[in-house]
């Protein structure tokens, strides 16, 4: 165990990380496993602004796990992605997020994509009476992300996705601390380049820096961690921690509709279940497969 004086961090997110694992990270045989802090240090960071209860309120989703899917593949136009968004929203999926590969490409520019997808979920809600939310991906440098945030605010977006290890953990913290006023779903892209235990990085640091929900590789998927690692990570996100709100775990990565009950049995209701690629495999039956996903979650919810 290594002890650090809180004063050395200056209560600054970047300096805190620097003290924890700055030059030490250059040593290939060292792994950052965990960190313990007094409540005063924890309170110095912003934490989730919505938490599980806030995310549930956004989609009127109570007493069950929440549902999520991803818009893909690469190369589709903003119009095509919006049509998928409409299908998923009509099927009743709570959160319809950009795939992490969607940025500001010419074939689906950010501003056009967000406008069309936001309109699609609004139209679907008017048709079905159920609220689904589109979750655009914020990615780029600070100026690009500031413009994307402005666009999202103007269009009434309520949840955004960020890859903290690509855009910067301190940037995530600063966005939330400066009044982002949109819930944040954190994506794990590029996190495998570091020797930080996933239970710490995803379960504590992402939450500490403002994520309301954290996507991570589920056991038995394409990039799987062990089941115990996933459970420890999820428990870190949901446990009481000073005055901070909880964050919801989002196990993902190659999940199948027929694993819904298993995931509920393992994680319980306070979870967002993310199924992406396997829904698209239904082809023309995409709506029906998506409805099955939603219905399986509703039926499997723990009472």
Work out the mean pLDDT of the chain and round it to a whole number.
96
What residues have CB less than 8 Å from 19, skipping those under 6 apart? 4, 8, 9
The pTM for the full model equals 0.97
What domains appear along the chain, each with residue ranges and CATH number?
46-300 (3.20.20.110)
Does residue 42 have a pLDDT over 80?
Answer: yes
Confidence of residue 255 (pLDDT cuts 50, 70, 90): confident
Nearest by Cα to 155 from 128, 184, 134: 134
pLDDT on residue 190: 94
pLDDT tens by residue, 142-194: 999 999 999 999 999 999 999 999 999 999 999 999 999 999 999 999 998 77
Distance in angstroms (rounded) separating the CA atoms of residues 71 and 277 = 9
pLDDT on residue 167: 98
- Inter-axis angle of helices 169-177 and 13-21, to 10 degrees? 150
What residues have CB less than 8 Å from 236, skipping those under 6 apart? 199, 200, 203, 204, 207
Alpha helices by DSSP H, the chain: 13-21, 39-43, 51-59, 78-91, 110-128, 142-155, 164-167, 169-177, 198-200, 206-208, 227-238, 260-267, 277-280, 286-300
CB 78 within 8 A of CB 113: yes
pLDDT tens by residue, 194-216: 799 999 999 999 999 999 999 99
What residues have CB less than 8 Å from 182, skipping those under 6 apart? 149, 152, 153, 157, 158, 159, 160
Does residue 221 have a pLDDT over 90?
Answer: no
First and final C-alpha spacing in the chain: 42
Does residue 104 have a pLDDT over 80?
Answer: yes
Distance in angstroms (rounded) separating the CA atoms of residues 174 and 176 = 5
pLDDT on residue 302: 84
Does residue 222 have a pLDDT over 90?
Answer: no
């Amino acid at each position: 165990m290594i002890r650090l004086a809180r004063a050395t961090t200056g209560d600054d997110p970047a300096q805190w990380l620097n003290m924890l694992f700055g030059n030490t990270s250059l040593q290939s045989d060292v792994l950052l496993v965990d960190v313990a802090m007094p409540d005063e240090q924890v309170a110095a960071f912003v934490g989730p602004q919505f938490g599980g209860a806030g995310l549930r309120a956004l989609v009127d989703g109570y007493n069950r796990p929440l549902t999520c899917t991803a818009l893909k593949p690469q190369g589709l136009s903003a119009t095509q992605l919006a049509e998928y968004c409409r299908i998923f929203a009509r099927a009743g999926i709570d959160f319809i997020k950009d795939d992490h590969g969607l940025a500001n490409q010419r074939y689906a520019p950010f501003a056009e994509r967000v406008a069309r997808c936001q309109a699609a979920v609004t139209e679907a809600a008017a048709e079905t009476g159920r609220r689904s939310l589109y979750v655009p991906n914020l990615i780029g440098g600070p100026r690009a992300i500031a413009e994307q945030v402005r666009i999202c605010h103007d269009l009434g977006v309520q949840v955004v996705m960020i890859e903290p290890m690509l855009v910067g953990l301190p940037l995530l913290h600063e966005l939330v601390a400066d009044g982002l006023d949109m819930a944040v779903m954190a994506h794990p892209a590029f996190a495998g380049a570091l020797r930080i235990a996933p239970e710490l990085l995803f379960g504590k640091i992402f939450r500490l820096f403002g994520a309301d929900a954290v996507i991570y590789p589920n056991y038995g998927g394409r990039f799987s961690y062990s089941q115990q690692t996933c459970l420890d990570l999820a428990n870190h996100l949901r446990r009481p921690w000073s005055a901070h709100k909880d964050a919801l775990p989002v196990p993902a990565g190659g999940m199948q509709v027929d694993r819904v009950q298993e995931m509920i049995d393992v994680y319980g209701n306070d979870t967002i279940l993310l199924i992406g690629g396997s829904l698209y495999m239904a082809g023309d039956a995409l709506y029906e497969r998506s409805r099955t996903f939603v219905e399986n979650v509703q039926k499997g919810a723990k009472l």
